[in-house]
Amino acid sequence: MTLRRTVVGGLAVLGALTLILGVSGGVYGLTVARRGFSAREAPSALEAKVARAARSFSMPAGARELKNPLAPLSPQALAEARAHWADHCAICHAADGSGQTPIGQGLYPRAPNMRATPTQDLSDGELYWIIQNGIRLTGMPAWGQLHEGAGNNDSWALVELIRRLPRLGEEELDEIKAALPQSRHELEEQRIEDAFLEGQ
Ligand code: HEC
């Protein structure tokens, strides 16, 4: 008798759960059908949290504890890291790391403000792992293949640069901005402007 009761009770709970899941799934499905998936919306707080947790989970054990073998960087190495950042990263992450570029803000998820705590709270090892391996299902590319040639030192130098983003000086920022890739059209405009200023 008690066994039968337990079974019936269990089935009832299972049925209720299925109903709840079915209804919420249906509501979600209808919302998607009505609005579609657009990268113009920002991910919800819940989605961002789940994605970040999944990302942290997907890192191999030990990655977090890796120490930067280059620290402290020489002024020369830091200057190279700034040029590298300007060339490969700033198109999405912006010269100052704020993520405020047309491409960075058009991605889903958005390029984050790397000067803020969520990024700065990541360990050196985590930053390095992300630069080497990218982040799946986002706009963040893996740079490992490119950086292998230089013994992966480029990735470690960028980790140090990211650490410095929150207190980047005016001069360093100007240096990065001056190194941003320019199109042929922009270069031609610059040439005409310079010629004009020289009175030609
Ligand atoms: C095509 C755009 C794009 C380029 C180029 C790019 N990134 Fe990213 N990056 C992203 C996006 C989008 C994210 C956020 C992904 C997410 O939310 O999980 C990101 C995240 C990161 C993060 C993790 C920050 C955090 O708090 O989640 C690091 C570190 C990073 N990028 C470093 C770099 C470096 C260094 C370069 C250049 C070598 C670079 N990225 C180039 C788009 C880009």
Q: Does residue 126 sit within a domain?
A: yes
Nearest CA to ligand 1 atom 41: 89
Residue 26 lies in a domain: no
Quick one: which atom of ligand 1 is closest to the CA of 143? 38
Task: Kindly tell me if the per-residue pLDDT of 184 is higher than 80.
Answer: yes
pTM: 0.86
Minimal-distance CA residue to ligand 1 atom 31: 140
Is 29 contained in some domain?
A: no
Going by CA atoms, what residue is nearest to atom 39 of ligand 1? 89
Which residue matches tokens 């470690």?
156
Amino acid 120: pLDDT: 98
Inside any domain, residue 27: no
Q: Is 140 among the domain residues?
A: yes
20 inside domain: no
With a Cβ cut-off of 6 Å, ligand 1 is lined by: 51, 55, 88-89, 91-93, 107, 109, 111-112, 114, 118-119, 122, 127, 130-131, 135, 138-141, 143, 158, 162
Ligand 1 binding pocket mutation candidate from 93, 98, 114, 122 (most atoms within 8 A of CB): 93
Per-residue model confidence as pLDDT tens digits over 7-60: 998 899 999 999 999 998 888 888 888 888 899 988 999 999 999 999 999 899
Q: In this predicted structure, what is the pLDDT of residue 1?
A: 61
Domain of residue 74, residue span? 45-197
- Average pLDDT score over residue span 56-76: 93
Residue 150 has pLDDT above 80, yes or no: no
- The answer to whether residue 13 is domain-embedded is no
- Is residue 138 one of the residues assigned to a domain? yes
Residue 59 CA to ligand 1 centre (angstroms): 16
> 140 alpha carbon to ligand 1 midpoint, in Å?
4
Number of domains in the chain: 1
- Distance from Cα 120 to the centre of ligand 1, integer Å: 13
